Amino acid sequence: MPDTPNLDRDDVLAMLTPLGTRGPDSTLERLSSMEVAWLVHQVEQRYGIELDLDDEQLARLRTITDAVQLLGESVRSSHG
């Protein structure tokens, strides 16, 4: 059985680093709308998937923890 991709907090922070809004050791939890858009794009590029998130799901992406949970679930389900 192939390994299921995992997305953790370090991955999310690493994806945000090139954006320049925070460093890899950032303790900021809240995400800006620009960071959410950037993360969705980065996840799609990194895992070779297209995320089809509805407005409700996007509205749930408010924090790093939310991103780890929701985007992680999306990545796992796309490779399942």
**Tens digits of residue pLDDT in 9-21:** 999 999 998 998 7
Q: Is the pLDDT of residue 78 over 90?
A: no
1 assigned to some structural domain: no
Question: 64 and 53 in contact (C-beta within 8 Å)?
Answer: no
Q: What pTM was estimated for this model as a whole?
A: 0.86
Q: Which residues pair with 38 in a beta bridge?
A: none
Tell me the per-residue pLDDT of 12-69, one tens digit each, with 9 for 90 and over.
999 998 998 776 667 789 999 999 999 999 999 999 999 999 999 999 999 999 999 9
Question: Which residue range(s) make up the domain with 36?
Answer: 9-78
Answer whether residue 74 is part of any domain.
yes
- Structural domain contains residue 30: yes
Residue 73 lies in a domain: yes
Calculate the average pLDDT of the chain.
88
CATH number of the domain bearing residue 24: 1.10.1200.10
Local structure of 30: helix, strand or coil: strand
When divided into structural domains, the chain yields a total of 1
